[in-house]
Chains A and B, each alone.
Chain A
Amino acid sequence: MPNTLLKIALAGNPNTGKTSLFNVLTGLNQKVANYPGVTVDKKQGKCKLDSQTQALITDLPGTYSINPNSLDETVVLNTLLNKEDKAYPDAVIVVADIANLKRNLLLFLQIKDLGIPTLLAINMCDEMNRKAITVNVEKLSELLNTKIVLISTRTQQGIDELKKEMIRFSSWDTTTNKELLHKIDSHFFENIQQQFPNKTPYAAWLSVAHYGKYKNFEEDSSEIADFFQNNKETIKKCQHKETIYRYQKINSYLKENYFIDKNKATDFQSVLDRVLTHKIVGYIIFVLILFLIFQSIFSWASYPMDLIDGWFADLSGYVKSNLPLGVLNDLVSEGIIPGIGGVLIFIPQIAILFLFISILEETGYMSRIVFLMDKIMRKFGMNGKSIIPLISGTACAIPAVMASRTIGNWKERLITILVTPLTTCSARLPVYAILIAIIIPNSNWGIFNLQGIALFALYFLGFFTAILASFFLHKVLKTKEVSFFLIEMPSYKVPLIKNVVLEVIEKVKAFVKGAGTIILALSIVLWFLASNGSERFKNAEKIVSTQVENKSLSQEELNQKIASFKLENSYIGIMGKTIEPLIKPMGYDWKIGIALISSFAAREVFVATLATIYNVESSDENTATIKQRMQSEINPITQKKRFDFATGVSLLLYYAFAMQCIGTIAIVKRETKSWKWAILQLVFMGVLAYMSAAISYQILS
């Protein structure tokens, strides 16, 4: 058993393969938690170094500099600055890209000046030949005062050496650059140092420069606050000077020791860029990729989804006939199993969506989309970067709203947050999927499947509404803040399968854990509300028997009647009945009303609820799937199918627009730091949903 646990943090610029290194070191041994107080993902994993030693590796968010521009990057500053913190690492590995050494060294030098044992891992060294790069590692190591390991996460080169070095982390160099701050303004920095006698000069400087962002003040902060307020201009100037000075140093280090043949490197990249960001072809490719994603979500996922649906119907039937009859049997077979099934059924669709998003990011194409869309998005008060939340909103609005953090401008970010939940998230998919399967025939129109086209139309509707809403917000909201846009266009890369797979697994896990617990809990509550009720509920048998005394009914028909009567008089039935007048204009009855209420917490509960309701209602033990049950449901007034075209369209529109997601409301509140925007958004989406569903139903029926 290993008895020593080292805490090692990985830091580095975005697109350097830092996360690949993390995946190579930790494999499936990783966990995602949140940093205390913020919702930034904290990825940690364990890596065995030798028989005695294990390392707990933290993958810090990617950043170009220790000076943060976003909440994610603030985490890097806070982790590396606070020695008292539990998360403070024993040592830091800075991962750099061999083709971008100059820029990568900026972050390295900043971190090194904090006085933590630091090692430089230069990644992608397998590309040195192809890109005609030469580097004098020995000399560079001497100049930078650090150990350097050349690695390649693609070919696994240097990984073992890196592990050996980790064991010896205490021998890593910790000397800091003493002359840097003196050269800029010695008096100013001596003053700062006096306020933080225990910190290295650079750590002291960062603590002041990012006062307010850096959270863990052990010292009396009112003095520092005053100092910060009085010297804002000087601080900014010094930050600029520091950057210039550091780059001068880096240039002098690299001048004799690092060569790159500029002509060899970028030909293929340029050709790709010319096509992918072309003013016509670029957009066509973008739309085709989106279309491919949506087609595959619908066609690839349907097979495993039907399987899962079938398994849970069988399982439920099996439990029903094999457990002793009673409350426990009912709870398990009608509450818990359909509830779990209702969660697991989304896994195929979510996995496929995240698969595509992860590939788009890994290849570097996502930045090109941002580049293509910036000018257009700006017309709607957003930023090219808003396209990432809007696209990843098709998976789930919660991480999408968090992804808006990369947008620096507050108004652009706010608009992005407010409209993102209108894009079609995967929780809407099961609702759409089942309704489309019921109201649209499964036939082909040319090479396209009609159901696929219907789904694409709904995605388009969500996106179009989001754009329209942002245009409206752009006109209404006023701001004085200057908008700024800067994004790296990384070189195109073939995605690493390991990275993509781990990303998909992690996202699916997070979904099952997050949404799963809500859905499971709700289905149990729902089951309880559906199987308990008023006095009439308890006397159901007696009342129904007297009602139908004169009609000759078979035992089966009688049981059916009793079950329906029970549902109507259960607590949930009473709730559904209460809101029936309100939802009638949209074409819904009280049973659908129940599903609307319960799916307020999460849309996907809609299907699970209907499953539970129709399960409770059907007295026989047949194991029909939810789709068959919905198709055979009859509207007692018109004697036509309950889920006809008009009702189906109305429901689709309702779920396209209504908020119906507690998770998103909570995250919007947290990210905008006020209830005001969360509530405005909820009301706006609710009104829009109600109006469009009601109007469409009235026209179509």
Chain B
Amino acid sequence: MDAIVDLKKGECGVIKAICSENIPLCLLEMGCLPGREVTMIQSAPFNDPLCIKVNETRIAIRVETAQKIKISKI
């Protein structure tokens, strides 16, 4: 299954599952929830962190976090 990291710039996906039990609550509170649409905005220089749009908000997360959020591309 794809994860957020596999999205190219401008591509969208729908969050299917958030893998790790160790994902902090604040990520969910920012709107990273199963069923939500997520768009890859861009990556920082050296490809990390990533800027994604979810819940009408742009947030930056690291690649290691983005690997744990599984999606299906649309």
A contact set with B: CB distance below 8 Å: 64-65, 67, 69, 99-100, 102-103, 106, 236, 239-240, 243-244, 247, 260, 270, 273-274, 277-280, 282-283, 367, 370-372, 374-376, 384, 408, 482, 484-491
Closest to B25 in A: A239
A103 touches B27 (CB 8 A): no
A488 touches B62 (CB 8 A): no
Residues of B within 8 A of A279 (CB): 44-46
* 5 residue pairs A–B, Cβ–Cβ below 8 Å: A240-B25, A273-B41, A279-B46, A371-B51, A372-B44
A100 touches B56 (CB 8 A): yes
Q: A-facing mask of B19-63, CB < 8 A → 1, else 0?
A: 000101111111101100000011011101101000111111110
Residues of B within 8 A of A384 (CB): 49, 60
Q: Does B67 contact A (CB under 8 A)?
A: no
B45 touches A485 (CB 8 A): no
Q: Which 6 pairs across A and B sit closest by C-beta, in order of nearness?
A: A279-B45, A489-B58, A65-B29, A243-B28, A375-B46, A485-B62
With contacts A240-B28, A243-B28, A273-B41 known, is A102 near B56, CB below 8 A? yes
Residues of A within 8 A of B26 (CB): 64-65, 67, 69, 486
Closest to B63 in A: A375
With contacts A273-B51, A277-B44, A279-B46 known, is A67 near B25, CB below 8 A? yes
Give A65 to B27 CA distance when docked, in angstroms: 11
Closest CB in chain A relative to B55 CB, distance in Å = 5
Extra contacts besides A100-B55, A375-B45 (8): CB < 8 Å? A67-B29, A69-B24, A100-B57, A243-B28, A260-B56, A277-B51, A375-B49, A484-B62
Residues of A within 8 A of B41 (CB): 270, 273
Give A277 to B42 CA distance when docked, in angstroms: 9
Give A90 to B34 CA distance when docked, in angstroms: 37
**Contacting B59 at CB < 8 Å: which of A65, A106, A244, A488?**
A488
With contacts A64-B30, A486-B30 known, is A103 near B46, CB below 8 A? no
Closest to B20 in A: A482
The total of chain B residues at the interface (CB under 8 A) is 28
B contact set with A: CB distance below 8 Å: 22, 24-31, 33-34, 41-42, 44-46, 48-49, 51, 55-62, 65
Residues of B within 8 A of A240 (CB): 25, 28
The interface residues of chain B, by DSSP majority, are classed as mixed
Give A472 to B69 CA distance when docked, in angstroms: 33
Closest to A482 in B: B22
Closest CB in chain B relative to A647 CB, distance in Å = 42
Most buried by B among A69, A239, A277, A408: A277
A374 touches B60 (CB 8 A): yes
Closest CB in chain B relative to A286 CB, distance in Å = 11
A488 touches B42 (CB 8 A): no
Residues of A within 8 A of B42 (CB): 273-274, 277
Closest CB in chain B relative to A435 CB, distance in Å = 37
Closest CB in chain A relative to B4 CB, distance in Å = 13
Give A278 to B26 CA distance when docked, in angstroms: 28
Closest to A379 in B: B46
Give A124 to B55 CA distance when docked, in angstroms: 18
Residues of B within 8 A of A236 (CB): 25
Give A487 to B49 CA distance when docked, in angstroms: 10
B51 touches A489 (CB 8 A): yes
A375 touches B60 (CB 8 A): no
With contacts A270-B41, A371-B51 known, is A243 near B33, CB below 8 A? yes
Residues of B within 8 A of A372 (CB): 44-45
B29 touches A487 (CB 8 A): no
Closest to A370 in B: B60
Residues of B within 8 A of A65 (CB): 25-26, 29
B46 touches A486 (CB 8 A): no
Closest CB in chain B relative to A41 CB, distance in Å = 22
Give A90 to B58 CA distance when docked, in angstroms: 34
Closest CB in chain B relative to A64 CB, distance in Å = 5
A103 touches B25 (CB 8 A): no
**Contacting A488 at CB < 8 Å: which of B46, B48, B58, B65?**
B58
**Contacting A487 at CB < 8 Å: which of B33, B56, B60?**
B60
Residues of A within 8 A of B51 (CB): 273, 277, 371, 489
Residues of B within 8 A of A486 (CB): 24, 26-27, 30, 59-61, 65
B56 touches A99 (CB 8 A): yes
Closest to B31 in A: A103
A106 touches B29 (CB 8 A): yes
Closest to B26 in A: A69
Give A229 to B56 CA distance when docked, in angstroms: 37
Residues of A within 8 A of B33 (CB): 243-244, 247
Give A486 to B27 CA distance when docked, in angstroms: 7
Closest to B56 in A: A100
Most buried by B among A280, A282, A374: A374
A103 touches B57 (CB 8 A): yes
Residues of B within 8 A of A408 (CB): 24
Residues of A within 8 A of B24 (CB): 69, 408, 484, 486
Give A277 to B49 CA distance when docked, in angstroms: 11
Closest CB in chain A relative to B10 CB, distance in Å = 10
B25 touches A282 (CB 8 A): no
Give A65 to B25 CA distance when docked, in angstroms: 10
Residues of B within 8 A of A485 (CB): 49, 60-62, 65
Give A484 to B27 CA distance when docked, in angstroms: 10
Give A367 to B27 CA distance when docked, in angstroms: 17
Give A371 to B25 CA distance when docked, in angstroms: 21
Closest to A372 in B: B44
Residues of B within 8 A of A375 (CB): 44-46, 48-49
B49 touches A103 (CB 8 A): no
Closest CB in chain A relative to B24 CB, distance in Å = 6
B48 touches A374 (CB 8 A): yes
Residues of B within 8 A of A270 (CB): 41
B45 touches A283 (CB 8 A): yes
Residues of B within 8 A of A260 (CB): 56
Give A375 to B44 CA distance when docked, in angstroms: 8
Residues of A within 8 A of B22 (CB): 482
Residues of A within 8 A of B56 (CB): 99-100, 102-103, 260
With contacts A371-B44, A485-B65, A489-B58 known, is A102 near B25, CB below 8 A? no
Closest to A243 in B: B28
Closest to B62 in A: A485
Closest CB in chain A relative to B45 CB, distance in Å = 4
Give A69 to B34 CA distance when docked, in angstroms: 22
Give A102 to B33 CA distance when docked, in angstroms: 13
Residues of A within 8 A of B49 (CB): 371, 374-375, 384, 485
With contacts A282-B45, A487-B60 known, is A102 near B31, CB below 8 A? yes
Residues of B within 8 A of A376 (CB): 46
